[in-house]
Structure 1
Amino acid sequence: MLTYHPDPNLNQRNVLGTSLSSCCFDPITGYYRNGFCHTGQQDVGQHTVCAKMTSEFLNFSAKTGNDLITPVPEYGFPGLKPGDYWCICALRWLDALDHEMAPKIKLEACHESLLDLVDIETLKKYAL
């Protein structure tokens, strides 16, 4: 289980340029498992996209090598179901976008670094 170190996460911003909002606390999400899509040097997967899970996306993700459905209790991972919110990897979301499987996202909770990979207009099309 990863531990949260608050110092690198202070004052992080979202794709709208305001303070990063929480993504989800039930289940507790984020690379740091603090409910936010904070990122830092250790987060090589860039868990920066706050997405609302759909069965289509969950199945797509499982088929492409990242099973988010099956619980992994030893890591405190409950498994996800449609309707859950989760900080997913930016490249996974872009892959899903390319395959027309991208889930809707909470813009206020998506980390600003996502803008290095995709433009704001595309993100707004998928906003909740």
Structure 2
Amino acid sequence: MPELNVLGEPLEPCSTDPETGFQRDGRCSCHDADMGRHELCAVMTEDFLEFSREQGNDLVTPRPELDFPGLSPGDRWCVCVPRWVETLQAVRKRHIPETTVPPVVLEATNEAVLDTVDLETLRRHAYE
């Protein structure tokens, strides 16, 4: 059975350049072995990449041994649901720039995210 996105439609690819997803297949699919829950497709912003680095997760530096190309603003990437939520909470509590929360590609975000983030919040942060 094909996976669905948060809109209840077939899950679209997030990115094949760079190739994202827990299995590096371009999709933000659910996998039992994926403890980080790479299920949310987001468009990287400079502010998010810096915030993530400050939290100890450098998404900019390439790590070939992990099949990780390094990301730039504008890249689409399957981010960890807890990291996206943490970023949203930091924007609200610490009054850091709204652009720190990376925009969500709803069509490529797995419906499993809805158990953590409601659709209204995702829509408010949707990529245009």
**Structure 2 Cα separation of the partners of residues 76 and 13 of structure 1:** 26
Q: Answer yes or no: is 1:44 the counterpart of 2:42.
A: no
Partner of 2:87: 96
Superposition misfits of 4+ residues, deviation over 2 angstroms? none
Q: Give the residue type in structure 2 aligned to 1:117.
A: T
**Structure 1 Cα separation of the partners of residues 15 and 68 of structure 2:** 14
Q: TM-score if structure 1 supplies the norm length?
A: 0.90
Q: TM-score if structure 2 supplies the norm length?
A: 0.90
Q: Deviations over 1:67-121 (max 9, x none)?
A: 1011101222110010000000000000011122211010000011100001100
- From 7, 23, 26, the counterpart of 1:16: 7
Partner of 1:127: 126
Q: CA RMSD in A?
A: 0.8
Q: Answer yes or no: is 1:35 the counterpart of 2:35.
A: no
Structure 1 unaligned regions, length at least 5: 1-9
- What is the Cα deviation at residue 39 of structure 1? 1.2
Structure 2 unaligned regions, length at least 5: 92-99
Equivalenced residue count is 119
Q: Give the residue type in structure 1 aligned to 2:77.
A: W
SS at match of 1:49: strand
Q: Give the residue type in structure 2 aligned to 1:70.
A: T
- What is the Cα deviation at residue 65 of structure 1? 1.4
> In the TM superposition, what are the counterparts of 1:57-96 in structure 2 within 5 Å?
57-96=48-87
Identity of aligned residues (%): 49
